[in-house]
A and B are shown apart, each in its own frame.
Chain A
Amino acid sequence: DSGVTQTPKHLITATGQRVTLRCSPRSGDLSVYWYQQSLDQGLQFLIQYYNGEERAKGNILERFSAQQFPDLHSELNLSSLELGDSALYFCASSSPLDIKDDYGYTFGSGTRLTVV
């Protein structure tokens, strides 16, 4: 167990629907990152939050949004789903500690989204 919890593990939904993916970061980590992993595009950075505030945006579609709550858990909302949104969605968290203690990220086990 990495300490980063993602739910649900699997999700099957129809095109046009909306889903919410949840992530609880490792205890003490303030930053949460969302990544999309698809077969043809590798690991794509979507968005980063730090202590409740959006810090950086990557290749996130307008149909997607995220937020980080006061308890530091984060949710990724995907709407108007298309077949091409089928992918593994990873959440990762990182520590605010000094860089010598920085292991980059701790990843959750991901949510596999299948859009049919």
Chain B
Amino acid sequence: AQSVAQPEDQVNVAEGNPLTVKCTYSVSGNPYLFWYVQYPNRGLQFLLKYITGDNLVKGSYGFEAEFNKSQTSFHLKKPSALVSDSALYFCAVRERVDTGRRALTFGSGTRLQVQP
């Protein structure tokens, strides 16, 4: 079974400060990891993914995430937060399989609030 935990319901950060949104995962084998962002009344939008290779993944809008296998974590980071980054962020995992694609399992979401 695969699962994702986002331990913080909400993260508050001041504009210009660095931000971190935490994610830990559990899969039987090796994971594919994703971050999505959801703005009000919109569907989820892809931010970045980890498939293999470099543990630091860079994505859209200046976001990056670091894959840590030993800690089974995939925290989302940004060096300098913007008010426009305020949204709901979802971490997702899928176990690597040789054939087909299993459904993604999503975390419960973390609401990021960036104060001006």
User: Are A42 and B107 also in contact (CB < 8 A) when A90-B43, A109-B43, A110-B43 are?
Assistant: yes
* Interface of chain A residues 5 through 36 with chain B (CB within 8 A): 31, 33, 35
Indicate the member of B41, B43, B51, B107 with the most A CB atoms within 10 Å. Answer: B43
Q: Which residues of B contact A63 (CB under 8 A)?
A: none
Q: Is B22's beta carbon under 8 Å from chain A?
A: no
Q: Given A102-B49, A107-B44, A108-B43, output 18 extra A-B contacts at Cβ < 8 Å.
A: A2-B45, A31-B101, A42-B107, A42-B108, A43-B109, A45-B106, A48-B103, A50-B101, A55-B100, A90-B43, A90-B44, A102-B32, A104-B46, A104-B49, A105-B44, A106-B46, A107-B36, A109-B42
Tell me, in angstroms, the Cα distance from A56 to B102 when the chains sit together.
8
Number of interface residues of B (CB under 8 A): 24
Check B104–A104 contact: CB distance below 8 A.
yes
B103 proximity list for chain A (CB < 8 A): 33, 45, 48, 55-56, 58
The residues of B with any CB-CB pair to A shorter than 8 Å are: 32, 34, 36, 41-46, 49, 51, 90, 92, 94, 100-109
Closest-CB distance, A12 to chain B (whole angstroms)? 16
Is there an interface contact between A103 and B90, defined as CB atoms closer than 8 Å? no
In the bound complex, CA of A102 to CA of B46 (Å): 11
Query: Which residues of A sit under 8 angstroms from B46, Cβ to Cβ?
Result: 103-106
Please report the C-alpha to C-alpha distance between residue A11 and residue B32 in the assembled complex, in whole angstroms.
34
Chain A contacts with B in 64-116, Cβ cutoff 8 A: 90, 92, 94, 99-100, 102-110
Please measure, in the bound complex, the distance between the C-alpha atom of A35 and the C-alpha atom of B44, giving whole angstroms.
11
Contact A103 B43 (CB under 8 A): no
A26 to B104 CA separation, bound complex (whole angstroms)? 17
Of all chain A residues, the one with the shortest Cβ separation from B41 is A109
Measured CA separation A100–B49 after assembly (Å): 10
